[in-house]
Structure formats: C-alpha cells, structure tokens
Chains A and B, each alone.
Chain A
C-alpha cells in the first residue's frame, strides 16, 4: 500500500511538471497552428537564463520571473523577425522545418556562449526531501507542482475572463471570423506565441534545478510534452493538463508495477488508442467549442 501511495504521489507531481511544458506547446498550436519544435530549446533557455541571473546575484525565486522575461524577449525577437514572416497562414509543414532550425540555432548558440557541460541551477530547495508519514517528497518537486497548478489555473482563468484571453480563444477557433469582428489578429498571434514561449521558459526555470542546465535538456522533455498534447487534444489547455496527469500517473504506475523498459512506449500506446477511438484527443474540439 505504501508503495502504491508513493507511486501515486510521484505520478501526480510528475504530471504537474509535464503540464507546464505541454501547455506552451498547445497554446501555440491552438492559436497559430504552428508545431513548435523549438519548444525544447526555449525550455533550455529558461534554465540557462535562471542560472545566469542567479550568478549575477539574484535569488532563485526572483531569477524565475526575470528568466521568463528574458526568454519572452528572445521569443519576441524571433517572432518579429522570422515566425511572423515565415509561418503565419503558411500551414503546419513549414512550421516544423522553421522551428526545428530555430531550435538547432538556439542549442548551437548555448554551446558557443556557455559550453556543452551540464551546469547546476541552484535552488533554495536543493536536494531537500520532505518525509510525510514515511513518504518522500522532493521540496523542489512540491514547488514545481504548486507553481504549475497556480500558473495553469491563473492562465485558464485569464483566458476565460479577460478580453485578451477571449480574443485568443476567438482567433484559435476562427482567425478570419475574429478579424471580421474587429480583433487585432496579428497582435493576438504575437501574444499567443509569446505566452507559449514564456511557458516553456518558466518550465525550464522551474525544472532546471532538478535536471541541470545543458544545451539539449529540452529534447526528451518536449517529446513527452508532444505525447501529452496529442493525448489531451492539440490546442486544448484543459486537454494538456488532463493528458499530463494521465501520462504522469500512467508512467509512474507502469514503471513501478509493470516494466521500466517499456514505459516510454506507454505514452505513445495511449496516444494511438486515443487517436483511434477519439481522434481529436481527450478534450480537443469539445473544449474549444465550449469557450
């Protein structure tokens, strides 16, 4: 029983981390129909920005928002110079090539500027583990889960309640219709891209202390994030959160009780099953229509 409880705790906390990485991907796809292969590179930038800001003397908790701003600024520059010109209204195929190229350029730039070795991202939570009733909980993971839930809940609320949030949802459903209704579609697209990139940067800043900063640190995480957003439904924020929870719990239970070796396949098996039975994903279109 203890093993099951510890496994469920592991899965829930893991899922919260996955959700944070996946939500940026799904926002960008939902609004812009861009499959962002550079998401992992922005994730890495978030961790490196946090590390460099901390080295400059800022504490970790202050470094996180500053790092998110830095990543958003880089995202803004790339959006204005490349993404806006090359990708909007150009279909999903072009986006794969362009964002992959951006990803490679960012990774190469990191190696050039900081070097290839993994670097520690200091956090006040460090390796501290909290033992509650015999169950181990990493302090950093609790912080990630709490931050993830707070940010995602706030973001979902902002989408529903604010004018700009409503406009993002309108553009994601029908960009032409939104334009005819007087919504500044180019501005909303830029805003959506920045929000997606900022989410990747935030995920990197939060997860950096756990996995260290290294140039390709986003690769494996973004693969999991893709399974999460496909499972939940491309473009659906609620779907990304549900998908992250399913994959997080599924992975933890499978690793503990079935097979460690086969766990990476589990996410893709779930994705195939969902696509066969419910092609729009768990909360794909239905969630978008409801808004």
Chain B
C-alpha cells in the first residue's frame, strides 16, 4: 500500500514537471516603483496603471497560451540604493522574467547597471538620455528622452514666448543635466540670454534666497527644473511670494496634480509640457481614460499611462516572441514591431527609445493643466 502511494506521488511529480503544467505558471513581472518617499505619489499612480494593464491582459486569456501576468511590486523609496536593492531582490528572490523600473533618471541609471545583459528592463517614465545611451541591448524606454522633449519645449519657450533672459533653477540630478545641456544649445541658437543657472541640492529646504538671486538678474522668465511634487509646490509658492516673473515655465513631464494642488494656486499660468493630456482626448486615449476613471475613481495622469503601456508592451512582446525569458528574441520583437497604445503607434529605435506621436504644451489652469498647443513628434 505504501509502495503504491509512493508511486502515485512520483507520477504526480512527473506530471507537475511537464511543460503542459508549466504553461499555467504565471509570468512574473517585477515592478519597481516609489511606493514611499518624496515621490510616492508617482508610485501610487503607476501602480493603478500597471494593475489595470495586468487585469486586462489576464481577462483576455493571458499570454503564451494562457499564462497569466503576475506583477510583483518592490519599493525604490525615491533613492538609487533602494532602487538597486529592489531590482536585485526581484531578480534573485522573486525570479521575475522582466523588470519595469524607471520614474527618476538617477535611480533608473543605477538600476540599469544591475539589469544590463541580465534581464529585460523597460523604463516607463525616466527621461535622461544617458539611460538608453548605455547601449544596453535589453533596455527599452516608453517616455520620450529628455532631449527629445526638451528640444520641442525649449524651442517653444525661446521662439513663441520669446523672453529676453531666462533664469533657471533646478535640482542637481541626471535629468536636470540633460535638460540644461539642451537648453544651452537651443538658447545659444537664439537671441535669448541665459541670465543665471542655480542648481540646488535635493536636501535644500528653502528657496527664498535662490529666487532673490535670480530676480536680481533682471530675467523676465523663470524656468524651474524639478520633478518632486512637494518641492515643486514649495518653489512656486516662494516664487509667488516674491512677486513672480513676467513669464514662468516648468520642466517637461514633471507637472502633475500632485504638485499643482499643494501649490494652492501658486502655479496658475505656469507653462509646461508633456506627452499626455486628458483634455480633448479621442479614440483609444478617450476609451483608456474612461476605463481608468471608472475602475479607479480618479482620472489617469502621464505616470499611470506610461506604466500601463510598459506592462502592455512587455506582455505583448513576450507573447509575440513566444518566450518569457529569451531576451534577445523579445528585444528583437520589440524593435521589429509597432505597438498599439492609447497614445497611438509606438515603435522603438536601436537604442530602445520610443517616441510619443504627439507632444502637448500645457498651461496650469486651476487644479490641472490645460492644452495650449500640440506638436507632432518627428
């Protein structure tokens, strides 16, 4: 009797180990988001987008002949060392088949050093060009690069708004570096003067003296490069308290409601830009906004959108490639196809960079941004 039971168990073990049984195992995707820390709002928004994408994929039957998508979340806490630890944990302990990580450029750069040549890594939001300039074959980016975004925005600032002199303040980060490099280039080709650049440390708690210094240059435009919502609100409150500037702008892709609401009206009229705007959305984008709003009770923002797209693109590429872990094949599939997203058709170049089809100039109005102008990205 005991012998029979052992034989039955052995047969069961063989069954479990067969490919047919494995096919039902979920495909695990590691999600590294700032769930706590100063940018935790981005993590919350991104998680809503990721969960919605996974639910849609699983409801449609999953990928690779019925395997479900399982998202495994880790917190990067808004710090490079925590981002690296999160990626390492997902790769070694959770054995995920792909990593979606990238909200802040400096953190994404640190994370990409770990994922390079080891696992498929999709960066949904971080913009710095240096991330995809590393020549990492399995690294892809959903958002535009900082230089693509900045070129359109800085050209708009210098040609359409045409200030005499711009004063710039921004946090000392990889993102800021890329944006400033582009600004110097664009301003150099125009008659606009770059009056002063004040680069502050992330630990700075007060900006009054920086603003005083910038105002003393006589610049007629202030341009703030900062991606942290609470600090963005604080800076604009302090700019307003010192009388403001005739023209005011904030870096591309960093102005969300999470900064506008705590600014309590101090950001009213500030010009910014992004690859997404809810206002006037039609077609797939309008349907995405409706579904998202219905499920979550809040409208999506850019972060929700790009993380949603990242999950969809990863799952789609794995499904089309017929593998969850042949990263060379999945990467070739990603580069060799056009991917339908709410924003339209996305395709990746040799560096793994996608380009958004459209680019929108925003003006802060009330507690959100309004559409000022639309550009088609070349």
Contact = CB atoms under 8 A, between A and B. Distances in A.
A212 B233 contact: yes
A258 B137 CA distance: 44
A166 to B, nearest CB: 34
Contact of B262 (A120, A129, A215, A220): A120
A22 interface: no
Nearest to A252: B209
Given A118-B229, A127-B237, A129-B241, A260 B213 contact: yes
Contacts of B258: 117-118
Interface in A106-147: 107-108, 111, 115-120, 122, 126-129, 131, 136, 138, 140-141
Contacts of A107: 36
Given A10-B209, A136-B242, A3 B264 contact: no
A181 interface: no
B299 to A, nearest CB: 14
Nearest to A122: B264
B259 A120 contact: no
Interface residues of B, number: 43
A93 B259 CA distance: 38
Contacts of B242: 129, 136
A288 interface: no
Nearest to A104: B36
Contacts of B210: 255, 260
Contact of A119 (B204, B237, B262): B262
B365 interface: no
Contacts of A255: 198, 209-210, 213
A79 to B, nearest CB: 25
Most central of A7, A224, A255 by chain B CB within 10 Å: A255
Interface string B296-331: 000000000000000000000000000000000000
Contacts of A7: 209, 212
Interface string B87-114: 0000000000000000000000000000
B58 interface: no
Contacts of B81: none
A217 B199 CA distance: 21
A178 interface: no
A99 B201 CA distance: 26
Contacts of B240: 127, 129
B38 interface: yes
Interface in A125-177: 126-129, 131, 136, 138, 140-141
Given A118-B233, A119-B261, A136-B241, A256 B213 contact: yes
Interface in A201-259: 210-217, 220-221, 223-224, 251-253, 255-256
B264 A126 contact: yes
A251 B172 contact: no
A138 B229 CA distance: 21
Interface of A: 3, 6-7, 10-11, 13-14, 17, 107-108, 111, 115-120, 122, 126-129, 131, 136, 138, 140-141, 210-217, 220-221, 223-224, 251-253, 255-256, 260-261, 263-264
30 contacts: A6-B212, A7-B209, A7-B212, A10-B208, A14-B208, A111-B40, A116-B35, A116-B40, A117-B41, A117-B258, A118-B229, A118-B261, A127-B266, A136-B241, A136-B243, A141-B241, A212-B230, A212-B262, A216-B37, A216-B38, A220-B202, A220-B205, A224-B205, A251-B206, A252-B208, A255-B198, A256-B212, A260-B210, A263-B201, A264-B203
Given A118-B261, A220-B203, 4 more contacts: A141-B208, A141-B241, A255-B210, A261-B200
Closest 6 A/B residue pairs (Cβ): A116-B40, A212-B262, A118-B230, A255-B209, A138-B241, A260-B198
